[in-house]
Amino acid sequence: MNTKTSNHTMKILYFFTFSFSVISSFGQSRELYQPDSIYRINAVKKRIVSFGGSSKAALIFNYDKQGKLTDYGLTDNETGKLYQFKTTYHYDAAGKIKTDVELVGDSNNNKHSIYNYNAKGQLVSKYTFDNYENLIEKNSITYDPLTETQTFLNADTIYRQQTAVYEDGYIFAYTRFYGYEYEDGKKGNWNYRFKNYLDKDNRIVRRDDSLWKPLKIIEYWYSKKGLLLKKTERFDRPGSKPNQKEFIKYEYW
């Protein structure tokens, strides 16, 4: 993989990882997430994801006593105490996310979202607006299989669109990720596939990421109570690239 391609791809994947659009009753989504029920059963109040190395940055998630995410944010690299951004979720009477608000250091860049559901109570769209009520992101969700398309806009012009197709029967890890982006007037495309391995409890324990050469292998480790404790990344050619680790700590009600 050449340097230009690698940098472009890493930017895309970083953006996708930290976009964290929330899939309502699916327990807040993405591979480091688990169903609301596991947080409720274990009386989880806070979940802290750290990344190892010299960075003090951490993702901090707060939950209510029903296991629902109330807010989360990413802290700074230097101190680990100041938030780079923080998103707060608001629920309706049925327990579904109705709106969210994201606050950042520069208040001009704050944004908020509105969630929409179908007659079955399934999330079908999410619209995100900037401080001036301009639509800057539109998420569309379809089912069987669960598929989410994110469209990013600037002055009503689409500059990026990306789609994730999730594992059948498991909604926290996608099997395919494809889309396009305009950069410096040029259109770049990607189409990546992932192979997921689930254990008998339908928990993800390994992902093979074919984007990387050699193959990147992502593994997940759980406590006896079923809480995710660690995520590791390695390559199937030893010594080719340094391993990466993410650690998860919990605080309880």
For 108-119, write each residue's pLDDT tens digit.
899 999 999 999
Total domains, the chain: 1
Taking alpha carbons only, the member of 210, 161, 215 closest to residue 188 is 161
Share above pLDDT 70 across residues of the chain, in percent, rounded to a whole number: 86
Taking residues 237-251, report their average pLDDT: 80
Q: What is the pTM of this model?
A: 0.83
Q: Which of 23-27, 88-92, 100-104 has the lowest mean pLDDT?
A: 23-27
Taking alpha carbons only, the member of 241, 170, 248 closest to residue 205 is 170
Confidence band (pLDDT; 50, 70, 90) for 99?
Answer: very high
- What pLDDT is recorded for position 239? 63
DSSP H or E stretch at residue 75:
strand 69-75
Q: Which of 114-118, 122-126, 167-171, 228-232 has the lowest mean pLDDT?
A: 167-171
The burial of 81, by beta-carbon neighbours within 10 Å (0-12 exposed, 13-18 middle, 19 or more buried), is given as: exposed
Where does the chain have alpha helices with state H? 3-19, 36-41
DSSP-assigned letter for residue 168: T
> Under a CB-based contact definition with an 8 Å cutoff, are residues 61 and 159 in contact?
no
> Under a CB-based contact definition with an 8 Å cutoff, are residues 90 and 97 in contact?
yes
CA dist., res. 56 & res. 50, Å (int): 7
- What pLDDT is recorded for position 172? 80
Q: Does the pLDDT at position 194 exceed 50?
A: yes
> Under a CB-based contact definition with an 8 Å cutoff, are residues 58 and 50 in contact?
yes
Show the domain range for 13.
3-252
> Under a CB-based contact definition with an 8 Å cutoff, are residues 120 and 142 in contact?
no
CA dist., res. 196 & res. 183, Å (int): 31
Both tokens of 5, joined, read 């391609």
Taking residues 113-130, report their average pLDDT: 95
- What pLDDT is recorded for position 102? 94
- What pLDDT is recorded for position 21? 37
Taking residues 233-250, report their average pLDDT: 80
Taking residues 110-130, report their average pLDDT: 95
Taking alpha carbons only, the member of 246, 190, 215 closest to residue 13 is 190
> Under a CB-based contact definition with an 8 Å cutoff, are residues 53 and 26 in contact?
no
Taking alpha carbons only, the member of 40, 44, 49, 46 closest to residue 18 is 49
For tokens 């944004």, name the residue: 111
Handedness of CA 112, 102, 29, 206 (dihedral sign): positive
